A = this chain, B = another copy of it.
Amino acid sequence: MPDTASTRDRILVAYEDLLIEAGERGATLDAVAARAGVSKGGLLYHFGSKDALSAGLVERLQHLTGLDVRKMRAAPAGPVDYLIRTSIDSGSALDRSLVATSRLAQADDPRASEALAAIRGEWLAVITESIGDPAVARAIMLVSDGLYFNSAMLGMGTPDPADVSAEAIDGLLTVLARLTPPSAHD
């Protein structure tokens, strides 16, 4: 897949945006086409059906996640710091892709649910590897899930359900550090 980053990509981005802003019901082919600047017929040339459009979205997420996991492994401050700091919605391509796919999962799309579960599994594996203790890794992963849930799922219409300011995240990381004492021996 060399450089077809034109109409096809614009359509995918438009679909993501609409899923995020208006939910599955608002993300109609008409709306997506209008937002991408093509006609409905033009859209359906690239994606033969709405289902194909959703499949394209999930693929995109998988690609972006692959890149993210590599960055997480190489993060200077460690995977936990990276995970927590990137668990708030910063508007990155990955964030948008993740939220859009969550909307699909909640619309009963099995591909989306499976992809999300697989991605979570990858992240958890990296954290567990880095932390050692699986129980602690699970707790940290859940905090990350919670941040995402608040920032991306609830925080659309409401002002700051959980506090996700930079200082709040610093404080959170300090608190979480207590979970992993330098040396522990039951």
Residues of A near any B CB (own CB < 8 A):
21-26, 102-103, 105-108, 110, 113-114, 116-117, 120-121, 135-136, 138-139, 141-150, 153-154, 156-158, 161-163, 168, 171-172, 174-176, 178-179, 181
CA distance A174 to B134 in the complex (A): 13
CA distance A149 to B142 in the complex (A): 9
CA distance A175 to B179 in the complex (A): 7
Q: Which of B23, B145, B175 contacts A149 (CB 8 A)?
A: B145
* A146-B141 in contact (CB<8A): yes
Known: A158-B113, A162-B145. A24 touches B107 (CB 8 A): yes
Q: How far is the CB of A50 from chain B (nearest CB, A)?
A: 11
Ordered nearest first, which 9 A-B pairs have the shortest CB separation? A142-B146, A145-B146, A23-B107, A146-B146, A113-B157, A117-B158, A149-B149, A117-B161, A142-B143
* B110-A172 in contact (CB<8A): no
Q: How far is the CB of A63 from chain B (nearest CB, A)?
A: 20
8 contacts between A and B (CB under 8 A): A106-B153, A116-B154, A120-B161, A138-B168, A142-B143, A145-B150, A146-B149, A175-B179
Known: A143-B142, A146-B145, A149-B148. A113 touches B175 (CB 8 A): no
* B162-A21 in contact (CB<8A): no
Q: Which residues of B contact A174 (CB under 8 A)?
A: 135
* B105-A157 in contact (CB<8A): yes
Q: Which of B22, B107, B153, B168 contacts A105 (CB 8 A)?
A: B153
Q: Which residues of B contact A107 (CB under 8 A)?
A: 22-26
Q: How far is the CB of A90 from chain B (nearest CB, A)?
A: 17
Chain B minimum-CB-distance residue to A26: B108
Q: How far is the CB of A65 from chain B (nearest CB, A)?
A: 15
Q: Which residues of B contact A106 (CB under 8 A)?
A: 23, 102-103, 106, 153, 156
